Amino acid sequence: MSVIDVALVAVAAVLVACIAAGLWRGVRGPTAEDRLTAFVLLGTSGAALFIVLATALGVPALRDVAITVVALATVAVIVFTRRQPR
């Protein structure tokens, strides 16, 4: 196992911790804004995790999955902010 592999595993562990924190805030968040912030965190952390996994496992298709996750998170945020009363 090379130094790069160890670093990728460490980064993946940190990203999983971020995803766990986002899930906790999404479930626990008292306001809709907290849940929206958690959703954005889940989208970016999930995309970053897919990119790290693509590099670590040598599966370039996971990069496409990361782009899809970011696109879906962006659309969800736009829909959420448009439906909020002003």
Tell me what pLDDT residue 65 has: 95
Q: Which residue has the tokens 């805030």?
A: 25
Give percent above pLDDT 90 in the chain.
64
Contact present, 41 and 22 (Cβ < 8 Å) = yes
Total-model pTM: 0.85
Question: Mean per-residue pLDDT for 19-23?
Answer: 93
Q: Where are the domains of the chain?
A: 3-83
Dihedral class, residue 40 (left if φ above 0, else alpha if ψ from -120 to 50, else beta): alpha
Q: How far is CA 32 from CA 28, 46, 81, in A?
A: 11, 21, 10
Measured CA to CA, the distance from residue 54 to residue 69 in angstroms comes to 14
